[in-house]
Structure formats: C-alpha cells, structure tokens
C-alpha cells in the first residue's frame, strides 16, 4: 500500500511532509515542520511537533508526544530537532523532546527501537539502534545510550550519563554514573553486578571473547589499584580482543559522570554509591 491516509479528524499543518503509505489516525496533530517516513502509522491522539523527523515503518501509539520543546530553562527558543529512525515502536504516553540551543541542538533515536509506555527521552539525548526502554524509563538531558541496550522499567538516568553497547539495566534502578559496554547494573543507586553474558550470547559474541571480557572486567574493576592503572593494564593485557578493547576505549573517552562500579566489599547493594 503506497497511498497515504489522513483521517478527517486529524490535523496536519501545511508544510508537513507525510510519506507514501503513512497513516495518520483520528485526533492526531502533526506540525508544519514535521517529516514522517513511508509506512509509518500514528494510531490516534498522537502529537508530533517541532522540527521532528520520523523514519519508515514506525508505529506510534495513542497519547505519545514527540518533538515537544526541551524542558530546560536554559533553552532560548532556537530551532532544534528530534530525529527518530526506522522500524521503531513507540507506545502510549511516550515523550521525546528536541535538543537545546546550548547543547547538541538535536535529540536522536536510532532504528528498531522499542519504547514502552511512559518512557521519557529528554533534550540532546542520543539513543542507538535496537534499544529497548521498558515502562516508565526516564532519561535526563544529554544522555548517550549505545546499541542493543535494554533498560528495565521505572529506571531513572542522570543527565550526561553514557551507557555502552549491549549493557543491561535492571528495573527500578537509579543510574548516576556511566555504564561500560556489556555490563549488567542495578540498584538504588546502581552498582555494577557483572557482565551481561546472556545479552552477549544473543548478539553473537563468541564464547572465547565472553571469557576474555569477564577477565577484562575483573582487571578493570580491581579495587587494589586505581582505575587509571586498571585501564592501562587492561589495554595491554587484552589488546588482542576487539570486544575488551571497546570497553577500554569507552572508559578512556570519559564523559562528565563517574563510572558505575561494583559495590564495596561488605556493603549492602543500596548503600553503595557507584562512584569512584
């Protein structure tokens, strides 16, 4: 089907670009600066505002609000954007804001994302491909989420946090620090609980590399040495492992937050602050 369908009870402002085979259901509102890709479906009561581009074959459920202005008092009203990739499923009451004119100026969401009810993606976030955010996940501004990341429900993520590829975050967590690729974290405040072995196997990481990653994890988070010493040791020891080196490179490209670390020996999980 290549014919575009716009329900007579929908509002599509002049200037909006609607792709072939797209469907705009009843009581949707599509702004003048919006681009909607081929085959994308807005079921009903969806608002797409601002300078928002949505890719092909997405399905957007009722009460989602995409492209609203950033919730930031520092934003001065400049033109900023939201870009959503192909084949995304966006469920009820999801909100995604555009960027800020003092930040990246853009919020970006990759392909094949699955965003469950009440997810919020704030201004200037960058979300990778094949990401699943379950019900009630909240990302503050300027967060970076890698590919194949899964985040459990009712999790809140501090601004400027980076989450590496293939990481898994348990539901109900409070994330204050960066999460290295392939890690598994959880808790209030979250601590590192090991490597996401199941996720690595599902994404095709060879068994030998999984074993190396587990050894690299022990080296990187050995509390008998400083974190800088651990990173240098791991860079030399696991130079032959492209997967371990991705973790090392992530840690070398340190962001504005501390890393999420394992709990201190003998500390209760929720008493550890996850900071170094």
User: What is the DSSP annotation of 159-199?
Assistant: TT-EE-TT-EE-TT-EE-SBB-TTEEEETTTTEEEEE-HHH
Residue 116 has pLDDT above 50, yes or no: yes
Q: What is the CA radius of gyration of the chain?
A: 20
Look at residue 2 in the predicted model and tell me its pLDDT.
Answer: 77
Residue 128 has pLDDT above 70, yes or no: yes
Mean pLDDT of 164-188: 97
Mean pLDDT of 108-112: 98
State the chain's mean pLDDT as an integer: 94
3-state DSSP call for residue 270? helix
Catalytic site residues? 123-124, 141
The values of phi and psi at residue 255, to 5°, are -90, -155
Nearest-5° angle of CA 96, CA 193, CA 225? 110
Neighbours of 220 (CB within 10 A): 23
What band does 267 get if pLDDT is binned at 50, 70 and 90? Answer: low
Candidates 87, 109, 98, 263; CA nearest to 186 is: 263
DSSP type of residue 103: T
CATH class entry, domain 5-142? mainly beta
d(CA 193, CA 185): 5
Look at residue 71 in the predicted model and tell me its pLDDT.
Answer: 97
pLDDT (tens digit per residue) in 67-98 = 999 999 999 999 999 999 999 999 999 999 99
Whether the CB-CB separation of 220 and 243 falls below 8 Å is answered with no
Look at residue 210 in the predicted model and tell me its pLDDT.
Answer: 95
Residue 225 has pLDDT above 50, yes or no: yes
Residue 122 has pLDDT above 70, yes or no: yes
Look at residue 276 in the predicted model and tell me its pLDDT.
Answer: 35
Residue 263 has pLDDT above 80, yes or no: yes
* Domain limits, the chain: 5-142, 201-271
Look at residue 228 in the predicted model and tell me its pLDDT.
Answer: 95
Residue 237 has pLDDT above 70, yes or no: yes
DSSP type of residue 92: T
- Enumerate residues 6+ apart whose C-beta is below 8 A from 29: 10, 11, 46, 47, 48, 49
Percent of all residues in the chain with a pLDDT value above 90, rounded to a whole number: 92
Candidates 127, 125, 117, 172; CA nearest to 148 is: 127
pLDDT (tens digit per residue) in 15-30 = 999 999 999 999 999 9
d(CA 32, CA 270): 47
For 179, the token pair is: 């999460």
Look at residue 257 in the predicted model and tell me its pLDDT.
Answer: 94
pTM: 0.94
Residue 271 has pLDDT above 80, yes or no: no
């Amino acid at each position: 089907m290549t014919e575009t369908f716009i329900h007579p009870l929908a509002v599509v402002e002049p200037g909006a670009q609607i792709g072939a085979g797209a469907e705009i259901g009843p009581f949707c509102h599509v702004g003048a600066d919006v681009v909607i890709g081929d085959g994308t479906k807005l079921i009903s009561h969806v608002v797409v505002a601002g300078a928002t581009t949505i890719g092909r074959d997405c399905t957007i459920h009722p009460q989602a609000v995409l492209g609203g202005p950033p919730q930031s008092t520092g934003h001065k009203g400049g033109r900023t954007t939201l870009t959503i990739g192909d084949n995304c499923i966006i469920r009820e009451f999801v909100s995604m804001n555009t960027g800020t004119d003092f930040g990246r100026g853009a919020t970006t969401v990759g392909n094949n994302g699955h965003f469950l009810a009440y997810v919020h993606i704030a201004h200037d976030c960058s979300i990778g491909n094949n990401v699943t955010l379950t019900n009630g996940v909240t990302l503050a501004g300027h967060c970076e989420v890698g590919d194949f990341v899964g985040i459990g429900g009712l999790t809140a993520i501090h601004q400027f946090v980076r989450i590496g590829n293939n990481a898994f975050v348990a539901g109900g967590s409070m994330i204050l620090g960066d999460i290295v690729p392939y890690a598994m974290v959880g808790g209030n405040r979250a601590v590192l609980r090991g490597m996401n072995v199941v996720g690595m196997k599902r994404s095709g990481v060879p068994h030998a590399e999984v074993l190396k990653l587990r050894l690299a994890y022990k080296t990187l988070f050995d509390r008998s040495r400083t974190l800088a010493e651990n990173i240098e040791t791991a860079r030399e020891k696991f130079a032959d492992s492209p997967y371990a080196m991705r973790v090392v490179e992530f840690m070398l490209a340190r962001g504005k937050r501390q890393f999420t670390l394992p709990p201190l020996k003998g500390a209760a999980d929720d008493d550890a602050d996850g900071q170094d």
